[in-house]
Amino acid sequence: MSNRNTIRNNNFHYSLTTLFASSLTILTLLSLSILSSPKASADSSADVNVSVTVPATCSLTANPDTLSTTITPGNTGTIGTSTIKAICNDPAGLAVYAVGYTNDTYGNNNLASTVGGTTINIPTAIASSPSTSQWNMTINAVSGDFAPTIPQDFENTAHIIPTQYTKVAYRNTMTDMGTNATGAQFNATFTAYIGPTQAAGTYNGKVKFLLVHPNVIDSSTNPATEAPSALPTMQTVSTWGSSVTAGQEVTSVDARDGKLYTVARLADGHLWMTQNLDLDLDSTRTYTSADTDLPANATWTPSTSTYASNNISAWEWSHTAPRSYDPGELYWGGDIDYTYMNQTLNAAGDTHYHAGNYYNWTAAVAMNDSTSQTVDETTVDQSICPAGWTLPRPGYGDGTLYGILSGYDANTNAVIGEGTHYVASGYNASDAPIYFTYVGNVISNSGISGANSTSYYWTNGVGGSSEAYDLRSYGYHSDVFNYSSGTTKNGRGFGKSIRCIARPVSSTVVFAPE
């Protein structure tokens, strides 16, 4: 009450002071004020809505951006260390990827020198006792409020220079750091061994680092150009997919989490992911038909989140909830093994062989309970894949493993009967361009089975009341390759890998070889 009196008194005093020079004017004003004194009214109001948009502003710098040293033959030396600094205010976090870019050529991971008109290369390698020249890099986080997470195969461990964009640092959340903040920083240290007979000269190389965060991904760039500052989203494949030619492999990014994937147009004419899906489910996030392979205007909020690498014991073998498991930044490496859960995975390898996540079938088809799917040899037309992509079909024909291999091996017609295994001579699906990974599957909360011997991939095929159809391949680095062409049923509670295929794909399912 006292505040209102004070305001009124001040206003009145202001009027008197301002108008005191004319008593006639004062009296007139006072008279008018008395005659027209307003009554309190709440008959109308006016609102002013205020909105401020703060755009995502991000930058990536390398300091220093040039490193050099001299190493005499027969010795190992550190070329130097560069501090990579990421500044970004995107609440969804950021990821930094690296790729060899020698001679401004995407994927070139050599140190190169021209000697007498001939180019001589020093390759990237991580041999512990090298006999020939090699170079590599090690990544370690710089401590601070926004210190990034470094994948375990890079962290304080010598790693080859990647031939494709490979994640080397990330943060799942960020806040406003400002342009003068310390940011998320990590050190990239480069080391080389020079063999005793290496030709004298100056060997130059380049590594390009790329910052990705979901709010600035350019969906119009053709991935075939490998533009370092803008990659297209998986979700916009309908706008750029047709530009990818047969046998060509390009890089695209999943807008849901900023992770990069290699994709290629394989022999069946379809565009396939050539890496395993690595999406971590979040029970607090709602996926929509704009970002995920769901029916128009549909949404899906998973009832469970992905289990972390130290929490496989939480896995429940069921199909009444979506289950998913992230084993960490591990790679299948064939003859180079990494012991994990008493199985063999590799902690440093080709991006194509990244283990990705394991999903039960309920998660694979983006449901919280798949009990309602009971009709054998039918399909579910939705999945956990990015929008514009879907799960492969079971059986034979379009959009199947059989369809791919029919273009790579002449013996495809040797398939005998439903659910049997086909023996192909001279081709292995773990090789380019398919890159199937033998990372096994999650059989229970006790661990992974079949790593380094079998790959399992879910299809969208329903196998009765509690089963589903999968794709399998067996064996590696062999001239004989066995596989099951999506005609084998398996319990939906198993955790298997996922490869997605770009739409459109025929909805026709064939369960007998033609």
Which pLDDT belongs to residue 58?
Answer: 81
d(CA 385, CA 292) in angstroms, rounded, equals: 6
pLDDT recorded at residue 279: 94
Closest alpha carbon to 345 in 457, 482, 483, 454: 454
Specify the pLDDT at position 23.
30
Residue 161 bridge partners (DSSP)? none
Task: List all residues 6 or more positions away from 396 whose beta carbon is below 8 Å from its beta carbon.
Answer: 402, 403, 415, 485, 486, 487, 510, 511, 512, 513, 514
Asked if residue 387 lies in contact with residue 295, where contact means CB atoms within 8 angstroms, the answer is no
- Identify the pLDDT of residue 146: 85
Name 488's bridge partners.
Answer: 470
State which H helix or E strand residue 491 sits in.
Answer: strand 480-491
**Burial letters 436-452, b for 16+ CB under 10 A, else e:** bbbbbbbbeeebbbbbb
Among 294, 244, 293, 251, smallest CA distance to 270 is for 244
Q: Is 481 in a helix, a strand, or coil? A: strand
pTM of the model: 0.67
The CA-based diameter of the chain, rounded to the nearest angstrom, is: 114
Does the domain made of 58-216 have the CATH classification 3.30.70?
no
Predicted confidence (pLDDT) per residue in 269-296, tens digit: 999 999 999 999 999 999 999 999 999 9
Mapped onto helix, strand or coil, the DSSP state of residue 497 is strand
Q: What is the domain partition of the chain in residue ranges?
A: 58-216, 241-502
Candidates 205, 211, 99; CA nearest to 161 is: 99
For 163, other C-beta atoms within 10 Å of its C-beta total: 16
- Point out the residues of the chain with pLDDT beneath 50: 1-37, 215-229, 334-348, 410-425, 476-483, 514
The pLDDT score that the predictor gives to residue 428 is: 65
**What 8-state DSSP symbol labels residue 476?**
S
What pLDDT score was predicted for residue 401?
Answer: 73
Beta bridge partners of 467: 491
SS3 of 50, please?
coil
